[in-house]
């Protein structure tokens, strides 16, 4: 459930979207009616996708409108001088449809005007001259900012949710073992450090499996939305944006996510081992969750100010670097050397913290005093061999 | 041989163990007794290296570290298993921690379940078992890797007489196989029945240490069991009798101020009277326990 939850949500969203789209498909169509079949055909030729072509007369159109099968009907009229149209519907035309109808009517009126004016070919050509607006959007620069914002939010929210999930699970599991005699049996069979390392290694394998499943699932999902008729046009329209976001996500940021999970898991295990009794298991993760929450919220004011000394400093500080270095990387604000230093600091911190907690783990797990946090901590350390 | 030499352990101001020394040889059973909080579990935790302590504990002349963990079988005071696992998974998991392979352990599980009369199959989950059956599974987990040193903290606690007998048999089998066994208990009958040696702790100090019979004999034969028609009031007034208590119909126990007074009491009782039973014995372990627990520290 932990791993497949996001896919389930994705599936439900797509399914709901698809069902919603199927149900509203007919309702967005209109009927086009005209005594002038040539005029009607011209409209249908230009705008076939939005029209229910089966409805050809007003009586039928009214019936279908009353049944809610169509959004409305458009009656096209023409005489020798003028083209006119009347729309009847349950709500006003949306801007896109209105624009299509206006373009059609203008074109038809213009053709009629030209025919009535009996102009020469040169005059016609002169009148058909249109003003020209040229847009020159530099695609890469244009989407880069949006890509950064999207990448930032996806990264921090993903890191936050995954860290919260793993810290909660780890702290609760360890807290539920606390004070139970199974720990005494285990510690009479293997060292606490080995057991602790085994637990952390187990969590590491789970998160690796989760990332792998997300990568495969994400690739499959991308192929789906790239080829689905519902989303195909969206993907091609925003291809460069999607590519930029994916590039930001599938980078060294994944290593920060992975190491972030490990260091927060180690901290969560420590918190779990420090609870007074099994009943406090649900509260065990709170210190780790609070730290994660602080790191998460501190990123907000700095998302467009990555040059700040705070961002630069925190990108080297364990527990914070999993948020702040990806933030800098998304904004191309960190060099390879800086990333390497930050990763080494994070790795060394993980190793030192794991070894230290692994050494005092036995004492922390075996002492069951229902006293204050610091007394429990002190007793745990003194208890230990 | 398990050798414990002069171990002390403080928890803040509390002196949990104070210069405790004793040893248990291979094929020997030692009973560790004492009131709640006397230091029995702390002694076990020290042996298992859970604590830092002063003094020396060795197993076959080696300090107890990870290298000898595989030779130890430990049953904690409160029972605790992993409720989501099946019996088989639980036994194999704990045996693998003792470096036994699943391949080696799996074929033995059925035999052990039958031996301890566990109700259920090896595929049943621990959480679905009754408390008694969970306790039996825990015993199997303690014994299945054939430990050379068996540490049992209150093993009889919560067991009915039938299951207590099963456990006794298992302990005696382990003894026959040469294991050094140390267990704590509040049930002096079990201690007397099973133990070769006895150590009693009071406030972290050893107050008794030796073979069970020797300890009993050291208190002198100051108890007389009599079965007679005489009244308890008369029995209580006999010379050298400090107290008399009824046991069952016409049966009493008399407490003497000294062992040598037994003959005088016998003469007084039998003077023209029929005595169905007269037996002069040292105090029972229960009595010794009460006396020792009631003594004040020097």
The stretch B180-205 carries a mean pLDDT of: 91
Q: Which chain A residue has the Cα nearest residue B12? A: A379
What DSSP character marks residue B127? G
Q: pLDDT for A241-276, tens place per residue? A: 888 888 878 888 888 888 988 899 899 888 888 887
Reported as a pLDDT band with limits 50, 70 and 90, residue A384 is: low
CA distance A362 to chain B (A): 7
Instruction: Give domain status of residue B192, yes or no.
Output: yes
Residue A135 pLDDT class (50, 70, 90 cuts): low
Report if residue B212 sits inside a domain: yes
Confidence of residue B19 (pLDDT cuts 50, 70, 90): very high
CATH number for the domain including B249?
A: 3.30.70
How confident is the model over A136-167, as pLDDT tens digits? 655 555 677 788 888 888 888 888 888 888 88
Question: pLDDT class for B271, splitting at 50, 70, 90?
Answer: confident
Q: What is the mean pLDDT of chain A?
A: 82
Partner residue facing B48 (CB), from A180, A182, A188: A188
Residues of A whose CB is below 8 A from B126 = none
Residue B293 has pLDDT above 90, yes or no: no
**d(Cα A175, Cα A268) in Å, to the nearest integer?**
10
pLDDT, tens digit, 9 for 90 and up, residues A187-226: 999 988 899 899 888 888 888 888 889 889 888 888 888 8
Residues B183 and B272 in one domain: no
- pLDDT tens per residue across span B226-240: 998 888 898 899 889
> What pLDDT was estimated at residue A78?
86
Provide, rounded to the nearest whole percent, the portion of chain A with pLDDT above 90. Answer: 10
> Nearest-CA distance from B44 to chain A in Å?
11
Q: Which residues of B touch A190 (CB under 8 A)?
A: 66, 69, 97
Percentage of chain A lying above the pLDDT 70 cut: 85
Burial of B210 (0-12, 13-18, 19+ CB in 10 A): middle
Contact residues, B window 111-170, toward A, CB-based 8 Å cutoff:
141, 151
Contact A385 B77 (CB under 8 A): no
Q: Which of B68, B71, B80 to mutate to test the interface with A (most CBs of A within 10 A)?
A: B80
A365 has pLDDT over 50: yes
Closest CB to B50 among A182, A190, A385: A385
Say whether both B159 and B138 belong to one domain. yes
Q: Do B7 and B145 sit in the same domain of this protein?
A: yes
Instruction: Judge whether A138 and A107 are in contact, CB under 8 Å.
Output: no
B199: pLDDT strictly greater than 90: yes
Domain with residue B148: its CATH number is 3.40.50.300
Last residue of a domain, one of B169, B192, B217: B217
Q: Has residue B295 been placed in a domain?
A: no
pLDDT tens readout for residues B249-270: 889 999 998 888 888 889 888 8
Q: State ipTM.
A: 0.82
Give the distance from residue B89's alpha carbon to the nearest chain A alpha carbon, in angstroms.
14
Task: Tell whether B230 and B176 lie within a shared domain.
Answer: no
Q: What is the pLDDT of residues A295-323, one digit of tens each?
A: 999 888 887 788 889 999 999 999 999 99
Contacts of B98 in chain A (CB under 8 A): 189
Reported as a pLDDT band with limits 50, 70 and 90, residue A20 is very low
Radius of gyration of chain B (CA): 23
Q: Of the residues B168, B192, B217, which one is the last residue of a structural domain?
A: B217
Q: What domains appear along chain A, each with residue ranges and CATH number?
A: 27-127 (3.40.190), 141-383 (no CATH)
Task: Decide if B119 is inside a domain.
Answer: yes
What integer pLDDT is reported at residue A141 of this predicted model?
Answer: 55
* Cβ separation A385–B80 shorter than 8 A: no
User: Would an 8 Å CB–CB cutoff place B98 in contact with chain A?
Assistant: yes
Query: Which of these, A170, A261, A251, lies nearest to A215 by C-alpha position?
Result: A251
The verdict on a CB contact (< 8 Å) between A184 and B141 is no
Please check the confidence at residue B96 and state whether its pLDDT lies above 90: yes
Per-residue pLDDT at B172: 94
> Which residues of B, range 238-267, sit inside 8 Å of A by Cβ?
none
Q: Is A190 at the interface with chain B, CB within 8 A?
A: yes
Q: Are residues B129 and B176 in the same domain?
A: yes
Mean pLDDT for all residues in chain B: 90
Distant-in-sequence, close-in-space partners of B258: CB < 8 Å, separation ≥ 6: B220, B222, B240
Are B29 and B154 contained in the same domain?
A: yes
Q: Is A367 on the interface with B (CB under 8 A)?
A: no
Q: Do B76 and A191 touch (CB under 8 A)?
A: no
Q: How far is B10 from chain A (nearest CA, A)?
A: 10
- Interchain proximity A181–B76, CB inside 8 Å: yes
Structural domain that includes position B91: 2-217
Q: Whole-prediction pTM value?
A: 0.69
Partner-chain residue, chosen from A188, A362, A366, that has the shortest CB–CB distance to B69: A188
CA distance A174 to chain B (A): 13
Residue where a domain stops, chosen among B185, B217, B249: B217
> How many angstroms separate the Cα of B101 from the Cα of each of A194, B75, B105, B107?
19, 21, 6, 11
pLDDT of residue A362: 84
Give me the mean pLDDT over the B119-125 stretch. Answer: 90
CA distance linking residue A265 with residue A167, whole number of Å: 5
| Residues on chain B touching A191 (C-beta within 8 angstroms) | 66
| 8 Å CB contact of B69 and A184 | no
Asked if residues B193 and B167 have their Cβ atoms less than 8 Å apart, the reply is: no
More reliable by pLDDT, B164 or A228: B164
Q: What is the pLDDT of residue B31?
A: 94
Domain total in chain B: 2
* pLDDT for A8: 67
pLDDT at A54: 86
pLDDT tens column, A347-359: 999 999 998 888 8
Residue B186 and residue B271 in one domain: no
Say if residue B200 is in the same domain as residue B235: no
pLDDT number for residue A23:
47
Q: Is residue B288 assigned to a domain?
A: no
pLDDT score recorded for residue A382? 61
Distance CA B298, CA B293 (A): 13
How confident is the model over B72-79, as a mean pLDDT?
Answer: 88
Residue A376 pLDDT: 66
Average pLDDT over residues A83-110: 85
Interface residue B68 vs chain A (CB under 8 A):
no
The confidence band for A372, taking pLDDT boundaries of 50, 70 and 90, is low
- pLDDT band for A14, please (50, 70, 90 cuts): low
Q: Encode B148-165: b = buried (16+ Cβ within 10 Å), e = exposed.
A: bbbbbbbbbeebeeebbe
| Residue A189 at interface with chain B, using a CB cutoff of 8 Å | yes
Mean pLDDT of A74-79: 88
Whether residues B201 and B179 fall in one domain: yes
* Axis crossing angle, helix A139-177 with helix A253-273, rounded to the nearest 10: 20
Per-residue confidence (pLDDT) for residue B103, from 0 to 100:
93
pLDDT (0 to 100) of residue B298: 56
Tokens 């350390």 -> residue:
A381
Q: Between chains, do A190 and B11 touch, taking CB under 8 Å as contact? A: no
At residue A80, the pLDDT reads: 81
Give tens-digit pLDDT for A27-62.
678 898 988 888 888 888 888 778 888 888 888 888
Q: Judge whether B251 lies within some domain.
A: yes
Q: CA of A375: which chain B residue's CA is closest?
A: B12
- Taking the Cβ of residue A176 and every Cβ of chain B, the question of whether any pair is shorter than 8 Å is answered with no
In a domain, B170, yes or no: yes
Q: Which residues of B touch A182 (CB under 8 A)?
A: 80-82
Which residues fall within 8 angstroms of residue A103, CB to CB, at 6 or more apart? none
Q: Tell whether B213 and B274 lie within a shared domain.
A: no
**The pLDDT of residue B220 is above 90:** no
Tokens of B95: 């045996």
Closest by Cβ to A383, choosing from B51, B66, B81: B51
What counts of helices (H) and strands (E) characterise chain A?
A: 16, 3
| B189 and B228 inside one domain | no
Instruction: Spell out a b/e string for B67-87, using b for 16 or more CB atoms within 10 Å of the CB, else e.
Output: ebbbbbbbbbbebbbbeebbb
Residue B50 with chain A: CB contacts under 8 Å: 184, 187, 362, 366, 383, 385
Residues B233 and B209 placed together within one structural domain of the fold: no
Whether residue B11 lies inside any domain: the answer is yes
Q: What number is the average pLDDT over the span B92-108? A: 93
How sure is the predictor about B297, in pLDDT bands with cuts at 50, 70 and 90?
Answer: low
Residue A379 has pLDDT above 70, yes or no: no
């Amino acid at each position: 459930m932990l791993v497949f939850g996001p896919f389930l949500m994705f599936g439900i969203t797509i399914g709901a979207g698809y069902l919603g789209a199927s149900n509203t498909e007919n309702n967005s169509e209109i009927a086009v009616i005209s005594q002038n079949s040539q005029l009607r055909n011209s409209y249908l030729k230009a705008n076939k996708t939005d029209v229910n072509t089966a409805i050809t007369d007003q009586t039928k159109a009214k019936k279908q409108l009353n049944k809610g099968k169509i959004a409305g009907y458009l009656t096209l009229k023409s005489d020798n001088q003028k083209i006119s149209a009347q729309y009847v519907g349950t709500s006003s035309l949306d801007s896109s449809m209105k624009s299509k109808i206006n373009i059609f009517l203008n074109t038809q009126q213009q053709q009629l005007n030209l025919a009535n004016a009996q102009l020469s070919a040169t005059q016609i050509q002169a009148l058909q001259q249109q003003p020209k607006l040229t847009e020159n959007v530099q695609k890469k620069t244009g989407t880069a900012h949006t890509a950064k914002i999207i990448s930032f939010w996806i990264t921090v929210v993903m890191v936050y949710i995954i860290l919260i999930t793993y810290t909660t699970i780890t702290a609760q599991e360890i807290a539920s073992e606390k004070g139970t005699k199974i720990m005494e049996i285990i510690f009479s069979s293997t060292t606490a450090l080995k057991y602790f390392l085994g637990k952390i290694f187990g969590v590491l394998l789970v998160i690796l499996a989760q990332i792998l499943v997300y990568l495969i699932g994400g690739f499959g999902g991308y192929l789906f939305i790239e080829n689905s008729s519902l989303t195909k046009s969206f993907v091609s329209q925003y291809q460069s944006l999607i590519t930029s976001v994916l590039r930001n996500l599938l980078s060294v940021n994944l290593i920060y996510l992975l190491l972030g999970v490990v260091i927060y898991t180690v901290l969560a295990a420590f918190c779990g081992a420090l609870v007074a009794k099994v009943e406090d298991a649900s509260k065990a993760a709170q210190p780790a969750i609070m730290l994660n929450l602080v790191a998460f919220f501190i990123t907000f004011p700095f998302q467009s100010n990555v040059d700040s000394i705070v961002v630069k400093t925190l990108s080297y500080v364990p527990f914070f670097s999993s948020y702040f270095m990806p933030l800098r990387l998304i904004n191309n604000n960190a060099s390879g050397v800086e990333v390497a230093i930050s990763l080494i600091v994070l790795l060394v911190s993980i190793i030192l913290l794991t070894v230290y907690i692994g050494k005092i783990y036995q004492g922390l797990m075996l002492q069951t005093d229902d006293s204050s946090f610091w007394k429990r901590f002190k007793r745990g350390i003194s208890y230990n061999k | 041989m398990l050798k414990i030499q002069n171990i002390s352990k403080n928890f803040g101001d509390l002196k949990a163990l104070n210069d405790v020394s004793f040893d248990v040889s291979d094929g020997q059973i030692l009973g560790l007794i004492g009131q709640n909080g006397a230091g029995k579990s702390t002694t076990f935790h020290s042996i298992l290296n859970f604590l830092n302590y002063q003094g020396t504990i060795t197993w076959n002349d080696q300090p107890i570290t990870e290298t000898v963990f595989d030779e130890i079988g430990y049953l904690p005071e409160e029972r605790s298993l992993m409720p989501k696992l099946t019996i088989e998974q639980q036994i194999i998991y704990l045996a693998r921690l003792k470096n036994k392979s699943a391949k080696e352990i799996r074929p033995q599980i059925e035999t052990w379940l039958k031996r301890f009369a566990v109700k259920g199959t090896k595929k049943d989950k621990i959480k679905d078992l009754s408390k008694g059956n969970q306790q039996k599974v825990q015993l199997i987990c303690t014994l299945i890797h054939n430990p050379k040193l068996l540490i049992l903290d209150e093993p009889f606690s919560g067991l009915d007489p039938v299951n207590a007998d099963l456990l006794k048999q298992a302990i005696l089998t382990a003894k026959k196989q040469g294991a050094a066994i140390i267990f704590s208990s509040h049930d002096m009958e079990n201690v007397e029945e099973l133990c070769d040696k006895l150590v009693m702790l009071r406030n972290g100090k050893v107050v008794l240490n030796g073979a069970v019979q020797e300890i009993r004999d050291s208190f002198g034969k100051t108890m007389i069991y009599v079965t007679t028609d005489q009244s308890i009031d008369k029995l209580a007034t006999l010379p050298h009798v400090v107290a008399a208590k009824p046991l069952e119909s016409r049966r009493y126990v008399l407490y003497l101020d000294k062992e040598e007074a037994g003959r005088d009491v016998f003469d007084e009782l039998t003077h023209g009277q029929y005595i169905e039973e007269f037996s002069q014995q040292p105090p029972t372990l229960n009595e010794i326990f009460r006396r020792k627990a009631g003594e004040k520290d020097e």
